[in-house]
């Protein structure tokens, strides 16, 4: 059992000159989980991740990674933490597989390099110099380098930016497999469906702070826009239906015979409503479900206008 979190960020402040990039950010990442950090351009995601990686010193607040200070204990953390930077960090003339083999040799028990390359679709470009790889190939190589040493924790900064659908799928499978192996993953992304598909925990960052967090379902749950509607005979006993529903739900009949249930709309709620209908001899027609997606929640929290 772990007694501390894999990553603990408390009150982090980071400034570049007069610009405050991170402004009192708190984040706790549980061991063995996948945490997605979302936020508009310039929200402070990369700065936060780079501080956790030990590349930047906090101006205020504390950062602990696997219980250690990432700057002071960088040497201890290096073999335990995998890092995928947004921009390569690879010498441009080096061939892809040479780079991966070199990185593998720095670790005691690396993954099988050829298998990993094959899995990420890098098999065909192993002899290509880094600078001639496509943007997507460079990202996949960076991902391979981050995980080849079997780290306990990996930071992935926009791992699927610019990837085609197949490569994105392969990346998702690799990230899921890391969780199965007990690896903790922290990733930043602009793809809401990526966070919904992969993340156990999502932190939405805006203007250098976490403005909302929770599982994707928690973040979308319980909003007025989550509704289940159906049509039945007019004048159903709304109080009786409400009693059957979990706490936090509401039922209305906005027009005669037209019903609206709001709350945590999921499979359980649908089953409860239809079973109540069956018990009361009602055949619900035109059942429709509307749920807020993570993207709706994100836009609601961070605004719809473009940021500079
Ligand atoms: N080295 C730097 N020097 C000066 N300002 C910087 C530097 N790096 C980042 N910034 C500024 O700090 C703010 C946060 O940047 P950061 O890269 O952390 O955001 P981000 O959320 O990762 O954005 P994106 O989604 O565009 O990658 C931005 O306003 C950016 O312009």
What domains lie within the chain, and their CATH numbers? 7-219 (3.40.50.300), 224-291 (3.30.70)
Residue 185 confidence (pLDDT) above 60: yes
For the CA of 86, the closest atom of ligand 1 is 27
Q: How many Å lie between the centroid of ligand 1 and the Cα of residue 85?
A: 14
209: helix, strand or coil: strand
Cα-trace Rg, the chain: 24
Q: How many Å lie between the centroid of ligand 1 and the Cα of residue 50?
A: 11
Which tens digit of pLDDT belongs to each residue from 245-304? Answer: 999 899 999 999 999 999 888 899 999 999 999 999 999 999 999 988 888 889 888 886
Which tens digit of pLDDT belongs to each residue from 86-124? Answer: 666 677 888 989 999 999 999 999 999 999 999 888 888
Which tens digit of pLDDT belongs to each residue from 22-74? Answer: 999 999 999 999 999 999 999 999 999 999 999 999 999 999 999 999 999 99
For the CA of 205, the closest atom of ligand 1 is 21
Phi, psi of 157 (to 5 degrees): -95, 110
Q: Distances from the Cα of 188 to the Cαs of 142, 217, 286, 290, in angstroms?
A: 15, 18, 39, 28
pLDDT at 217: 85
Which tens digit of pLDDT belongs to each residue from 128-142? Answer: 888 898 888 888 999
User: Ligand 1 pocket, 46 CB below 6 A?
Assistant: yes
285: which strand partners? 231
Q: Distances from the Cα of 70 to the Cαs of 2, 43, 44, in angstroms?
A: 18, 22, 18
User: Ligand 1 pocket, 47 CB below 6 A?
Assistant: yes
Q: How confident is the model at residue 220 (pLDDT cuts 50, 70, 90)?
A: confident
Which tens digit of pLDDT belongs to each residue from 148-179? Answer: 999 999 999 999 988 888 889 989 999 999 99
7: which strand partners? 29, 65
DSSP labels, 193-219: HHHHHH-SEEEEEETTEEEEEE-HHHH
ipTM of the complex: 0.96
């Amino acid at each position: 059992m772990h007694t501390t979190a894999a990553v603990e960020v408390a009150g982090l402040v980071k400034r570049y000159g007069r610009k405050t990039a991170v402004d009192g950010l708190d984040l706790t990442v549980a061991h063995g989980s996948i945490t997605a950090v979302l936020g508009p351009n310039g929200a402070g995601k990369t700065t936060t991740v780079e501080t956790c990686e030990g590349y930047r010193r906090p101006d205020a607040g504390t950062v602990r990674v696997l219980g250690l200070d990432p700057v002071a204990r960088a040497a201890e953390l290096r073999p335990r933490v995998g890092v995928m930077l947004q921009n390569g960090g690879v010498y441009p003339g080096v061939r892809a597989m040479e780079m991966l083999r070199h990185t593998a040799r720095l670790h005691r028990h690396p993954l099988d390099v050829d298998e990993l390359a094959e899995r990420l679709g890098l098999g065909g470009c192993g002899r290509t110099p880094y600078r001639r790889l496509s943007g997507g190939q460079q990202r996949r190589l960076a991902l391979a380098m981050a995980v080849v040493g079997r780290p306990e924790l990996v930071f992935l900064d926009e791992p699927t930016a610019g990837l085609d659908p197949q490569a994105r799928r392969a990346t998702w499978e690799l990230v899921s497999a890391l969780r199965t192996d007990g690896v903790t993953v922290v990733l930043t992304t602009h793809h809401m469906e990526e966070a919904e598909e992969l993340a156990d925990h999502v932190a939405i960052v805006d203007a250098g702070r976490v403005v909302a967090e929770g599982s994707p379902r928690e973040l979308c749950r319980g909003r007025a826009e989550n509704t289940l509607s159906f049509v039945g005979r007019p004048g159903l006993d709304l109080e009786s239906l409400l009693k059957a529903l979990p706490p936090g739900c509401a039922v209305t009949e906005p027009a005669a015979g037209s019903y609206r249930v709001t709350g945590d709309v999921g499979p359980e709620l649908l089953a409860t409503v239809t079973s109540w209908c069956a018990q009361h001899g009602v055949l619900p027609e035109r059942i429709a479900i509307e749920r807020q997606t993570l993207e709706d929640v994100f836009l609601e929290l961070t605004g719809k206008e473009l940021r500079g």
